Amino acid sequence: MRNHRFTTRQRGATLIVGLITLVMVTLLVISAFTLSSNNLKAVGNMQFRNEAIAAANMAIEQTLSSPFTTVNSPNSVSVDIDQDNTIDYMVDVAAPACIQAPPASVNLTALSGVSSNIPNTSDYLTLWEITATVTSQSTGASVVVKQGVSQRLTQSQYSASTCSSP
């Protein structure tokens, strides 16, 4: 008779242990789901940021392919990243800033073997900084990309550029 009572107590303990195990497994699954959704958000944010950087670089390349040395006002460039004929990003490109414009020198060492730098007054080695700002309303991505570029200008190009303006 005592064996029978001991067996019924065992069955109740098994039920409690089973419920505790079920709760622990449920908590483990919920935490794994939360962790994976946070990782998905982080990867999505990285993708939006990389797309915004690509859009800024495309706008800078478009600016560099134009006569940018005479531009003295900012402009906006629309960019279609995924080529589906809809504008994905609007990029604000600031007016190119002339950082420096020293006269170009002719290196006579290569020509005569004598080390001498004679200034060539008709050319200038200009250094420019182009800044592109992207802010996406749909994704919330926001980046600023700065690009430096060196451009050799003749005297007439230099006179027409924003470098020669005070």
101 contacts 127 by C-beta, under 8 angstroms:
yes
pLDDT confidence bin for 4, thresholds 50/70/90: low
Cα dihedral 137, 138, 144, 145 sign: negative
- Residue 88: which of 60, 130, 59 has the closest Cα? 59
Cα 126-132-135 angle, rounded to 5 deg: 175
Percent of all residues in the chain with a pLDDT value above 70, rounded to a whole number: 82
Query: What integer best gives the mean pLDDT of the chain?
Result: 84
Q: For position 161, what pLDDT does the model report?
A: 86
Spatial separation of the C-alpha atoms in residues 131 and 95, rounded to whole Å: 8
Residue with tokens 């004679």: 118
Kindly report the number of other CB atoms within 10 A of residue 164's CB atom: 16
Cα dihedral 102, 103, 104, 107 sign: negative
Q: For position 26, what pLDDT does the model report?
A: 96
pLDDT confidence bin for 70, thresholds 50/70/90: confident
87 contacts 136 by C-beta, under 8 angstroms:
no
Q: For position 34, what pLDDT does the model report?
A: 92
Mean pLDDT of 77-82: 87
* Residue 95 φ/ψ, nearest 5 degrees: -60, 135
Q: For position 13, what pLDDT does the model report?
A: 79
Q: Which residues contact 35 (CB under 8 A, 6 or more apart)?
A: none
Percent of all residues in the chain with a pLDDT value above 90, rounded to a whole number: 45
Q: For position 71, what pLDDT does the model report?
A: 84
Which carries the bigger pLDDT value, residue 105 or residue 156?
156
pLDDT confidence bin for 9, thresholds 50/70/90: low
pLDDT tens, 85-115?
888 889 999 999 999 888 887 654 555 555 5
Spatial separation of the C-alpha atoms in residues 104 and 151, rounded to whole Å: 11
pLDDT tens, 18-40?
999 999 999 999 999 999 999 99
Q: For position 149, what pLDDT does the model report?
A: 93
